[in-house]
Amino acid sequence: MAGLAENYHGFLREIRQVAEAANRDPEGVRLLAVSKTFPKEDIAELYQGGCRDFGENRIPELQEKKSALPEDIRWHFIGQLQSNKVRKVVLLADVIHAVDTPALVERLDRICGEEGKTPAFLLEVNVSGEASKSGCTPDALPELAAAAFRCQYARFQGLMTMAPADAPEVVLHQVFGTLRQLRDRLAEEYRQKLPILSMGMSGDWQIAVQEGATVLRIGSALFGRRVYA
Ligand SMILES: *Cc1c(COP(=O)(O)O)cnc(C)c1O
């Protein structure tokens, strides 16, 4: 099997090709290596290959990996943010991907102030409306975004979504395209840049790139199949 770093560089080339075919600047599409469940050694290998952005969804695992790995890694917390875990996440993560209620936004900003941290954060939108998914509904987004724009410490940078698994391509285009439109409308209304659209995973990233993704969250396609304990 090819080494992980080689895999990573091959993936970067593929992203570049898909971005160019979609008439996008390839520099505007970043790869976030979703390292949850994979060992520190794998992360170290990708780090050697030049990767600096890694995504985790459990606090103890993030804590352990962060303390053992180089300091210039940017850690993304991609799990559901729970109210009683906000402080831990603030102390560990550089980017927080899935904030989904006004109360959480306010708590996040207050704790960032107390801890002297200014992480970037994204609002998670449940575009597809699947009951099993977290994230706010598109209807609830205006109120949530209003809270996000009021933050003084946490930096509101954009939106995140997860598409339904195994959905047909038309549905994926619709979900990702809707997230982009929601972002564009907010950016226009508030006259603010909301540069990040975190969308696209191993199975659907090409369509996400076509619809404007700026951060692809890629796990299994980079590291191999995940085995949960
Ligand atoms: C696990 C996970 C991913 C990566 O999934 P793959 O299909 O392995 O690429 C992306 N985003 C979130 C929120 C995840 O939890």
Query: Could you give all domains of the chain from N- to C-terminal order, each with its CATH number?
Result: 4-223 (3.20.20.10)
- Quick one: pLDDT at residue 228? 66
CA of 104 to the centre of ligand 1 (A): 22
CA of 148 to the centre of ligand 1 (A): 24
Instruction: Give the C-alpha separation, 160 to 199, whole Å.
Output: 6
Q: Identify the bridge partners of residue 156 per DSSP, sorted by sequence position.
A: 121
**Is residue 186 pLDDT above 50, yes or no?**
yes
Q: Which atom of ligand 1 is nearest the CA belonging to 223? A: 8
Q: Is 141 in the pocket of ligand 1 (CB under 6 A)?
A: no
Query: What does pLDDT average to over the chain?
Result: 96
- Quick one: pLDDT at residue 229? 53
Q: Is 32 in the pocket of ligand 1 (CB under 6 A)?
A: no
**Is residue 187 pLDDT above 90, yes or no?**
yes
Q: Is 218 in the pocket of ligand 1 (CB under 6 A)?
A: yes
Q: Is 220 in the pocket of ligand 1 (CB under 6 A)?
A: yes
pLDDT in tens, 79-137: 999 999 999 999 999 999 999 999 999 999 999 999 999 999 999 999 988 877 899 99
Q: Is 33 in the pocket of ligand 1 (CB under 6 A)?
A: no
**Is residue 2 pLDDT above 80, yes or no?**
no
In the chain, the amino acid numbered 225 is R
**To 5 degrees, how large is the angle CA 110–CA 116–CA 117?**
85
When pLDDT is averaged across residues 213-229 and rounded to a whole number, the result is 88
Q: Which atom of ligand 1 is nearest the CA belonging to 203? A: 7
66-70, 168-172, 194-198, 223-227: least confidently modelled range:
223-227
**Is residue 1 pLDDT above 50, yes or no?**
no
CA of 186 to the centre of ligand 1 (A): 26
Interior/surface letters 127-146, b for 16+ CB within 10 angstroms, e for the rest = bbeeeebebbeeebbeebbe
Q: Is 216 in the pocket of ligand 1 (CB under 6 A)?
A: no
Beta 155-160 vs 196-198: how paired, if at all? parallel
